[in-house]
Chains A and B, each alone.
Chain A
């Protein structure tokens, strides 16, 4: 059952991942095996808040995510710390032919990245936003957790938005958590 869920999840994500065939099957089987270990170790934590199978499948999904993150860590499409700022407008869907129109906005964003963010926030922003590194891959690279990296990016987003709003580039947001 766990293998079937893992294979289904790998197949669901596969087309977007450039992982196919035996490699994808192997990833799914490893994910199912590791999920079984996780489930066995956490059985005492099941509190009956959902069907048991839903709770168990969750660990299969998490393991597929983790295996995919590890795959991209081993086979990165882009260096994790490369800094090609010319890519930034394209990451937000701006057509290269129209990038000049958005030059001021993205120049302001780059200034804010350099002036407002801590070194850690900048590192995470560059990897995830500029280089399109999957968050779960960055988690492995930095030896961190998804929650910690998300929080770093959350705080970076809040700071950047405030800086761009102060400069008149974006409207003001509601107050974010500190």
Chain B
């Protein structure tokens, strides 16, 4: 990726992006959909758009997904 495409990608905004508030509120639901192989991105495109654009929420998503995949309960 060169400077132009990295900048282009960073500045591109998705009007469906739900923002951090909704993402944090529903993260547990979305993560279970992903973990179970459901088409989570299709069902919640605004949620998926947010996770792609927001580093902290994307990191939380990866962390929660790893946690539930490793659970023993």
A85→B4 CA distance, assembly (Å)? 17
| Given A54-B32, A61-B60, A175 contacting B15 (CB threshold 8 A) | yes
Q: Report Cα–Cα, A12/B69, bound state, in Å.
A: 14
- Within 8 Å CB of B3, what residues of A? 89, 92-94, 98, 102, 105-106
Cross-chain contact B11 with A164 (CB below 8 angstroms): yes
Q: Mark A93-129, 1 if CB is under 8 A from B, else 0.
A: 1100010001001100100000000000000000001
A residues contacting the other copy or chain, number (CB 8 A): 50
* Cross-chain contact A161 with B13 (CB below 8 angstroms): yes
Check B11–A160 contact: CB distance below 8 A: yes
Q: How far is the CB of B39 from chain A (nearest CB, A)?
A: 17
Contact present for A161 and B63 (CB under 8 Å): no
Chain B contacts to A: CB under 8 angstroms: 1-4, 6-8, 10-15, 17, 19-21, 24, 26-29, 31-32, 53-57, 59-60, 62-64, 66-68, 70-71, 73
